[in-house]
Structure 1
Amino acid sequence: MSQKVAFVGVGRMGANMARRLKDCGYAVTAVYDVNREAAESLAAELGCAAPAKLSEVTAAADVIFTVVTNDAAMRSIFQDAQDHLFVGAQGKIFINCATLSPAIHREIYEAAKKAGAHSVEACMASSISHAREGKLYLMLAGDQDVYDQVSAMIEQMSVNRRFVGGPGRAAEVKALVNMVMNINTAGLAEGLGLAAALGHDLSMIREVFSQTGANSRVLETDGGDMVAREHDCWFSAEHAAKDSGIARGLAQEVGLTLPLNDATTKQYEKMVSLGLGGLDKSGIAELTFKGRHA
């Protein structure tokens, strides 16, 4: 456990990952976020620094986790003209956990090599509570020998892992995961919305769904919330729109048309346009139940 660890991006996922590694005995030396208050609060909790500069984060650690919102944020933390993570980065390992485009992961991988550093993808398919408990499911990509250097740390954070290949490949798999999840969520919302409009008891409908071909993981996680209109955010509609959009872009690159994904993306983009992007993805039911926001 001699590796010193830092985190860039300490929202609910990043903060809980940092807490988990601290609990496991790793030296968490620095945390950084554009929300200075969040970074300073977590730093006080963990007993570490909250540097104002990204270059100071790199200087404080051997392994730096990044959990940022989108490609632009990723490019900014690594390639900003004034301050970035690659300053003094020789020999450092960056583990990039956010759901971003495969292209940006490949771009940062190449930039890391030029800086004498290493970049590993660790795409997450889990919730905030899983991050805190060390029960993440991680899809990993990059160089196998670099992954081996941090595998013990990764194992403390996850119950399941899949190394899928070279740079960008884990991001591709994560895009597929979220594409299918979002399609299933949209389909469930439409099924429950139609059942409600027909006057069916939705508890009965959900039980029937669970015993038939209509069953799905999102029925378990989101079905009750759709009915009760309880959309506390675990995975936001805004992120669903982004991730389904990544899958749409990948399909365009290989010349495929994905009509279900296209329709789902438009639904989540509609949520964002209506000011509902901060709701959980289950909030897509607000567009399909009669008399709600649609």
Structure 2
Amino acid sequence: MSQTIAFVGVGRMGANMARRLMDCGYNVTAVYDVYTEGAASLAKEIGCKHATTLADVTAAADVIFTVVTNDASMRTIFLEGSDNLLVNAKGKIFVNCATVTPGIHREVYAAARTAGASALEASMASSISQAREGKLYLMLAGDEAVYQQVQRIIEDLSVNRRFIAGGAGKAAEVKALVNMVMNINTAGLAEGLGLAAALGHDLGMIREVFSQTGANSRVLETDGADMADRSHDCWFSAEHAAKDSGIAGLLAKEQGLNLPLNTATEAQYQKMVQLGLGGLDKSGVAELTFKGRHA
């Protein structure tokens, strides 16, 4: 555990990953976030430096985890301005956990190599509580030799993981597929439960029947009761669902594929954003399908 670790992006996922590694005995030396109050609070909690510049983060650690929101944020922290993570970054390893396009991962990978550093993808398919408990599922891509250098850290963050061959961007492609299918399933479940409610069926009974038939799915377990109860505390936001379905749509367009279900699902989540519901959990798509709700 001799490697020092820092974090850029300490919202609920990043902060819980930092807490987890501290619990495991790692030396987390610095945290940074554009929301400075949150970063300062976490730094005080776990006893590390609140870095106020990106270059300070790089200087403070051997391994830097980034957990940011989108391509623009990735470009800002790595590729733009005089203060970015690649300043004096020779020998550093960046582990990038955000759900962003494969293209930006490839850009960062190339820029890191030019700076004498390494960039590894570690796309997450898990929740906030799983980040705290070290039970993430991680999809990794980049150079396998770099992965081996941080494998112990990755294992302490995750219950399972998959290294995906093919180079930079490949884990992001797989993550886009995961979220595309998850979002389609969630929107489909919302329509099924919305129609069942309109027909006067007991939704507890419907969920039980679904669970024993071909209508079963992981999202039935995670989101079914929340859709019925209108309980949409955010674990994975509708805004993020819209973004991720959009990433899948862009990949399909590049391949000349038509994905009508993904297109319809993205439109539903974009509608939530337009209605001011983007901060709800993805289960909130049921608000668009049940009679008498927001739709």
Q: Normalised by the shorter chain, which TM-score bucket?
A: over 0.9
* Structure 1 residue aligned with 2:119: 119
Deviations 1:64-83 (A, max 9, x none): 00000000000000112131
* Structure 2 residue aligned with 1:131: 131
* Structure 1 residue aligned with 2:145: 145
- Separation (CA, whole Å) in 1 of partners of 2:69 and 2:188: 26
* Structure 2 residue aligned with 1:92: 92
Query: Match for 1:233: what amino acid?
Result: C
- Separation (CA, whole Å) in 1 of partners of 2:159 and 2:292: 42
Query: Match for 1:19: what amino acid?
Result: R
* Structure 2 residue aligned with 1:107: 107
Query: Match for 2:130: what amino acid?
Result: H
Alignment of 1:228-267 (within 5 A): 228-267=229-268
- Separation (CA, whole Å) in 2 of partners of 1:95 and 1:202: 43
SS at match of 1:162: strand
Does residue 22 (structure 1) correspond to residue 22 (structure 2)? The answer is yes
* Structure 1 residue aligned with 2:224: 223
SS at match of 1:231: coil
- Separation (CA, whole Å) in 2 of partners of 1:206 and 1:59: 52
Query: Match for 1:26: what amino acid?
Result: Y
Question: Mind listing any 5+ residue stretches in structure 1 that lack a counterpart?
Answer: none
Alignment of 1:64-75 (within 5 A): 64-75=64-75
Query: Match for 2:70: what amino acid?
Result: N
Query: Match for 1:242: what amino acid?
Result: K
* Structure 2 residue aligned with 1:277: 278
- Separation (CA, whole Å) in 2 of partners of 1:185 and 1:41: 35
- Separation (CA, whole Å) in 1 of partners of 2:254 and 2:80: 28
Deviations 1:6-33 (A, max 9, x none): 0000000000000001111110000000
SS at match of 1:271: helix
- Separation (CA, whole Å) in 2 of partners of 1:220 and 1:273: 27
- Separation (CA, whole Å) in 2 of partners of 1:51 and 1:271: 35
- Separation (CA, whole Å) in 2 of partners of 1:7 and 1:81: 19
Deviations 1:199-252 (A, max 9, x none): 111111111000000000000000000000000000000000000000000000
SS at match of 1:160: strand
Deviations 1:148-167 (A, max 9, x none): 00001100000101000210
* Structure 2 residue aligned with 1:11: 11
The Cα of 1:194 is off from its aligned counterpart by: 0.3
- Separation (CA, whole Å) in 1 of partners of 2:92 and 2:137: 24
- Separation (CA, whole Å) in 2 of partners of 1:40 and 1:81: 23
TM-score by length of 1: 1.00
- Separation (CA, whole Å) in 2 of partners of 1:219 and 1:51: 41
Deviations 1:80-133 (A, max 9, x none): 213100001000000000100000000000000000000000000000010000
SS at match of 1:212: coil
Where do 4+ consecutive residues of structure 1 move more than 2 Å?
none
Alignment of 1:178-189 (within 5 A): 178-189=179-190
- Separation (CA, whole Å) in 1 of partners of 2:83 and 2:23: 30
CA RMSD of aligned residues (A): 0.4
- Separation (CA, whole Å) in 1 of partners of 2:153 and 2:41: 24
Deviating more after overlay: 240-249 vs 81-90: 81-90
- Separation (CA, whole Å) in 2 of partners of 1:47 and 1:222: 36
- Separation (CA, whole Å) in 1 of partners of 2:147 and 2:82: 30
- Separation (CA, whole Å) in 1 of partners of 2:105 and 2:99: 10
The Cα of 1:37 is off from its aligned counterpart by: 0.3
Question: Mind listing any 5+ residue stretches in structure 2 that lack a counterpart?
Answer: none
* Structure 1 residue aligned with 2:210: 209
TM-score by length of 2: 0.99
Does residue 53 (structure 1) correspond to residue 41 (structure 2)? The answer is no
